[in-house]
Amino acid sequence: MVDYIVGGKAATNSNVLGIDIELGLESIDRNRWLIDNLLLIPKHEAWLRRDVSARRSAGTTAIENVGMEELEVSELQRKGTPSNPTEAEQANVNALRAYEFIDYLSDQHDVPIDELAIRQMNREFLYGAAAPLTPGVYRKGQNLIGGFTPPDQGDVPDLMRSFALWLRQEDDVHPVLRAGLAHLHFVAIHPFWDCNGRTARGLTTLILQRSPSHFKKLLSLEQHLAGIREGYISAIERALGPRFSLNYDATSWLEFFVEQVEVASNLLTGEMTDWHRMMQEMHDDFAELGPNTRQTDGLAYAMRTGKVTRGEYVEITGVAPLTASRDLSKLVEHGLLRPEGKTRSRVYYFQRPAATQADSAAQPLLIP
């Protein structure tokens, strides 16, 4: 892979970057520091990552017009693949598999981000696809993406080999720039028959999570990009032009990409700050009610998502369904949850107790 082009110049470092990119990177680094130094209970951090996985899957498939609502993806995450999945359900189940693989690979620093990793990522996104789509195998024909013509199929192996060598190089390029450049160049090569966009976004996440800009694996750039889908696609098209070239100017794309990572990291920082404050308020507000550990965990989850089901409570706390029902009933009695629906389909919505309840001599929630 040749040096990338920024502002009309070949660049291997940030010495030709514009002021907008430099300021954006500074803002991202501040957010990274805040997330790195935010104390999270490991159990709660695991929940947050589970939510992020659903967000990423819903976001990356929505960009390809096979998306589902985040809550629906969360349900797939909990229950697994339906017996006769729709196209959207299969796409999101595959995306969940792919991001599980990406999160795992993010922690394996002795395993290089190379062609094998990229091809496996594509296999995960295309799990169960028809044989002609050849999951994880470079295409054997020409494909077109809108008005863009990727390179000839005969050039793909050498291009991917050079790309993988670049990914393994150590340099002083900021990881956000490296992730953005990798995304753009992979899309330009378009090495597979299908799921190139999903694989590009997965690769971007993997590169960031392997770097100091990992954000504790809580950043969902995919969800943010899904919300600005047309602008995202236009930014790629502007940078690449009508056909593949090794000398495209990445300036406009990097400006766009850095701005979106900054926005996504701002949202994450605000969300995590709110989470930390809510947890502190919960401990302060409910101290007199004396919830036990599992009830506190259930309330924390309900505060996070706005609701909790019995199945989710069982998964969170590890208790038996009967114990979960008893715990949830107690939380309802004390005005902390509001039930809707019947029996198995019942959903418990989080609500703060009235001031009179919080200030009164309430009976403790402790359950043996």
pLDDT tens column, 186-210: 999 999 999 999 999 999 999 999 9
| CA-based nearest residue to 96, from 67, 115, 119, 73 | 73
* Domains defined for the chain, CATH in brackets: 4-267 (1.10.3290.10), 286-359 (1.10.10.10)
Query: CB–CB of 150/189 below 8 Å?
Result: yes
Distance CA 326, CA 277 (A): 28
pLDDT for residue 315 is more than 60? yes
- What DSSP string describes 209-231? HTSTT-GGG---HHHHHHHTHHH
| CA-based nearest residue to 278, from 301, 294, 255, 244 | 301
What's the pLDDT at 16?
57
- Phi, psi at residue 335, to the nearest 5°? 75, 20
Query: CB–CB of 148/118 below 8 Å?
Result: no
Q: Give the residue-averaged pLDDT of 140-168.
A: 94
Q: Give the residue-averaged pLDDT of 333-345.
A: 84
Q: How remote is the C-alpha of 207 from its chain's centroid?
A: 13
Distance CA 135, CA 120 (A): 8
What's the pLDDT at 289?
59
Three-state SS for 347?
A: strand
pLDDT for residue 215 is more than 50? yes
Three-state SS for 169?
A: coil
| Alpha-carbon distances, residue 226 vs 40, 102, 154 (angstroms) | 28, 19, 32
What's the pTM? 0.84
Distance CA 2, CA 121 (A): 24
What's the pLDDT at 156?
97
Distance CA 19, CA 222 (A): 25
- Phi, psi at residue 113, to the nearest 5°? -85, 100
77-126, pLDDT tens digit by residue? 988 888 999 999 999 999 999 999 999 999 999 999 999 999 999 999 99
pLDDT for residue 356 is more than 80? no
Lowest mean pLDDT among 10-14, 233-237, 331-335, 337-341: 10-14
